[in-house]
Structure 1
Amino acid sequence: MAGRLAGKIAIVSGGATGCGGAASRLFAAEGAAVGIIDRNVAAGQALADALTTDGYRVVFARADVAVKAEVEAAVAEVAAALGPINVLFNHAGTIVIKPFLETEEEDWDFLFDVNVKSMYLMTRAVLPHMLAQGKGAIVCTSSISAVYATPNEVLYDATKGACHMFARAIAVEFRDKGIRCNAICPGFIDTPHGQREVELLTRYGVDVSDGAIKAAQGRFGQPEDIARAALYLASDDAEFVTGAQLFVDGGFSAV
């Protein structure tokens, strides 16, 4: 199938690289006009330029997604260029991996700002566009870590648990206004983020070797695996799916 997002105007936060970059490319290929919001100006602008050269409607807007004024300005910039937003992929996020007693308050605040506050700010900025249209789809990147705890990831696990419930609560509050909201829960994905997670967990003695990952989920996930899941949840194919958590983890959560 092609054109599954035809006529949609989408924002992808953290859309410059990794799974977010894969989603920006796929959303554009499936017919959406795409606004990439990221703090990585070089990568975000390069991707927007490349997709524009390929004939797609794509713009880049720089923002630290944990800063309200920057988020609101970036969303306004995208809307001015492309039109009212009706798809939001809340993908921006990062990770802190440390033994719990070595974490500091600054680590907690930083991670909740990037992983959770960003979803609040992005959703708060975009929802009025969707409500005015009477329809919209929001996809939030959670993680298997929302429900499967890992040593040395207490802070990360806590943020992803919050993302999990954020998506469900938005779905319940706005269902009758035509807004859907769902969460994607990736397993280990072969991105710089995923490789850094493996490196740090290994340093602290957690077995995330190739063999362990293969046993848990068959293979390393690829960015396109997450992008395709986000496409489904963002598209009208999922019009009766809201408040759900889609685990994209090769069976990790089924064991």
Structure 2
Amino acid sequence: MSHATSGVTVRSNRDNDDSWERQMAADILGYAGKRVVVMGCFSGTGEACARQLVALGAEVHGADIRPSPVAGLASFTQVDLKDAASIEAGVAGIGGEIDALFNISGLPQTFPGEDVVTVNFLGIRHWTHAWLPRIRAGGAIVTVSSLGGMNYLARQPLLAEFMGNADIAAGRAWYLANAATAGDPYTLSKEAVNTWTQQSAPALMARNIRINCTMPSPIDTPMLDDFRKVAGDAVLGAFAKAKGRFSTPEEQALPLILLNSDAASFVSGVCLAVDAGLSGGLATGALNMQQMLAEAAAG
């Protein structure tokens, strides 16, 4: 490809390599040979993500509170996201520089509220900050949030107060003192993830590091039973209405892989709904939540 400027023909670098298009087609995601870390690879979306990254040729280092069944990991490190010392030891144990960080661990509301906000946000933030000096230029971070956090822009004053607690202990203490005002801990934690993602993007881009998150609708994993205990079948059924079924772990893992890939090199600060059009339908009135709840309750 070329173009003329002031009578001079300027040729792009692509013309110097006739195989550029073939190379991009063969490895458009660009994971071959890259060093990545997956937090939360014991089961569900995290397990599916780690398996696919191994298949794509990445050097995959897994971390979780329980051992991962994924074959082909370069290493596995046990990390408790409720414990700052465990987090820091985990980062040091894996060591070295990385190209991409996948934050996929999470807890539902069936756990104590202070643990939910810690694992889903406070611990993930501490873990990510511990990795930042080791993330190479051109690297990327992606975190799993939730549709449960989609109202984050309406709660910025409360979220600023919660997120202003710089460490895990202070954040847990704040939640315990403000639980009644903060509301559902899962919702609070995911709203914080969305806010943190977008707030962090400009400063990280100055270092050529991208950060994004996804907001899944309910996923068909063992954790779905925990959400069923809290929300009930009618609510879960309504959230499955757009597609007519729940998402699979693989359907959530692949967008995470895309966001951290070379194919998304100009994407940062995005909270991507991965919900088969549910949130878009609700936002524009194409779907009606009250009607969907009534239909789901009626079976």
SS at match of 2:223: helix
Q: 1:118 aligns with which of 117, 123, 143?
A: 123
2:67 is equivalent to residue 37 of structure 1: no
Question: What is the CA deviation profile of residues 64-97 of structure 1, one whole-angstrom value per residue up to 9, with x for unaligned ones?
Answer: 0221221121122223xxx411210111111115
Where in structure 2 are the equivalents of 1:1-255 lying within 5 Å? 3=27, 4=29, 5-41=31-67, 44=68, 46-47=69-70, 51-52=71-72, 57-79=73-95, 83-96=96-109, 107-130=112-135, 133-147=136-150, 154-202=184-232, 207-208=234-235, 210=237, 212-255=238-281
Offset of 1:144 from its aligned partner? 0.5
Match for 2:88: what amino acid?
Answer: E
Measure, in 1, the Cα distance between the counterparts of 2:133 and 2:236.
45
SS at match of 1:34: strand
Question: What is the CA deviation profile of residues 131-185 of structure 1, one whole-angstrom value per residue up to 9, with x for unaligned ones?
Answer: xx32310001111011159xxx722111100000111122122111111000111
Question: What is the CA deviation profile of residues 8-49 of structure 1, one whole-angstrom value per residue up to 9, with x for unaligned ones?
Answer: 2111111111100001101111121111110113xx1x32xx
Match for 2:33: what amino acid?
Answer: G
Measure, in 2, the Cα distance between the counterparts of 1:171 and 1:209.
32
- Structure number with greater CO (CA < 8 Å, separation at least 6) is 1
Measure, in 2, the Cα distance between the counterparts of 1:135 and 1:148.
30
Structure 1: which 4+ aligned runs deviate by more than 3 Å? none
SS at match of 2:234: coil
TM-score by length of 1: 0.82
Structure 1: which 5+ runs fail to align?
Answer: 98-105
Question: What is the CA deviation profile of residues 186-209 of structure 1, one whole-angstrom value per residue up to 9, with x for unaligned ones?
Answer: 00100111232123322xxx6136
Could you say if the C-alpha distance between residues 84 and 209 of structure 1 is closer, same or farther in structure 2, counting changes exceeding 3 Å?
A: closer
Offset of 1:217 from its aligned partner? 3.9
Offset of 1:122 from its aligned partner? 1.3
SS at match of 2:112: helix
Measure, in 2, the Cα distance between the counterparts of 1:35 and 1:94.
21
Measure, in 2, the Cα distance between the counterparts of 1:190 and 1:126.
30
Could you say if the C-alpha distance between residues 162 and 244 of structure 1 is closer, same or farther in structure 2, counting changes exceeding 3 Å?
A: same
Q: Which moved more, 1:167-176 or 1:231-240?
A: 167-176
Measure, in 1, the Cα distance between the counterparts of 2:75 and 2:234.
41
Could you say if the C-alpha distance between residues 148 and 177 of structure 1 is closer, same or farther in structure 2, counting changes exceeding 3 Å?
A: closer
Check whether the contact 1:13–1:65 (CA below 8 A) recurs between aligned residues.
no
Check whether the contact 2:109–2:186 (CA below 8 A) recurs between aligned residues.
yes
Measure, in 2, the Cα distance between the counterparts of 1:93 and 1:2.
33
Measure, in 1, the Cα distance between the counterparts of 2:218 and 2:86.
30
Measure, in 2, the Cα distance between the counterparts of 1:111 and 1:196.
13
Could you say if the C-alpha distance between residues 119 and 2 of structure 1 is closer, same or farther in structure 2, counting changes exceeding 3 Å?
A: farther
Check whether the contact 1:2–1:30 (CA below 8 A) recurs between aligned residues.
no
TM-score by length of 2: 0.70
Check whether the contact 1:22–1:227 (CA below 8 A) recurs between aligned residues.
yes
Structure 2: which 5+ runs fail to align?
Answer: 1-24, 153-182, 282-299
Aligned residues: 225
Structure possessing the higher radius of gyration over alpha carbons: 2
Measure, in 2, the Cα distance between the counterparts of 1:207 and 1:141.
24
